[in-house]
Structure 1
Amino acid sequence: MAEQPSTVRVDVWTWSVRLYKTRSAATEAAKAGHIRVNGDRAKPAQPVRIGDEVRAFTDREHIVIVKQLLTKRVGAAIAQAAIEDRTPVLPPKEERAAPVIRERGLGRPTKRDRRAIERLRGR
């Protein structure tokens, strides 16, 4: 049986545990700065070790702890066992801010409009 590696590339690992659909998408996300390892921006070849915290920004932020190193894409059950998911739970739809809808033809929002929108969203 093959020996378990001590480190794995961050793009390979995030693809293996199904945070990204393709390895090239994981590589592009790392190049764009959408993957952080222990709080630092990660390049695609940065190694991850067991116990590292990985933050991946896909449709939302995923915070996971590395429990097992994977080099190949595996089934969902094995991938779930390889991570400790610390991603915050999304609030129910009733608590989320309603989308701001602007009338067609108004153009870009002014600085005043943008600030009002940000206040509505709670930022």
Structure 2
Amino acid sequence: MRIDKYLWCIRYYKTRNMATEAIKKGHVSINGQTAKPSRDVYAGDELSVRKDQINYKLQVLDIPQNRVGAKLVDMYRKDTTPAEAFEHLELLKLAKEHYRAKGQGRPTKKDRRDIDDYLVEEGK
């Protein structure tokens, strides 16, 4: 089965077109080698998929005939992604929230003055 169809069948991408674009961009590798969308995938292959700033490590267990339900995905792949990848994503989210809360937009005049005062003090 083609790698783009396989990733769509096991629900890593919503559409085959999204899977194909990710593969063309180099976000997917098979057994350590970058893949083309038409590359076949077989049982026992090791996949590396970069999605949402996480490097997923997958092992192909079996090839589905067509797109499977979410509950049946584990029959066709084994997820060996290390826990550190998910912890790294949580740290990124916390860092973004710490800087500026979502929805506050651009700095206000007062925020800008505070930033300028801080930078002047640092320069002395």
TM-score, scaled relative to structure 2: 0.68
Which runs of no fewer than 5 residues in structure 1 stay unpaired? 1-7, 107-123
* Dislocated runs of 4+, deviation >4 Å: none
- Matched position secondary structure for 2:63: coil
Alignment RMSD (CA, Å): 2.5
1:96 equivalenced with 2:71 (yes/no)? no
Larger Rg: 2
Distance 2:28 2:88 in 1: 26
Q: Give the residue type in structure 2 aligned to 1:28.
A: E
Q: Which residue does 1:66 correspond to in 2?
A: 60
Identity %: 37
Distance 2:20 2:65 in 1: 14
Bigger proportion of residues as helix? 2
Greater RCO between the two (CA within 8 Å, min separation 6)?
1
TM-score, scaled relative to structure 1: 0.69
Q: Tell me the matched-pair count.
A: 98
Q: Which residue does 2:115 correspond to in 1?
A: none
Aligned pair partner of 2:27 in 34, 38, 41: 34
Contact (CA 8 Å) 1:38, 1:52: kept in 2 or not?
Answer: yes
Which runs of no fewer than 5 residues in structure 2 stay unpaired? 101-105, 113-124
Query: Deviation at 1:18?
Result: 0.8
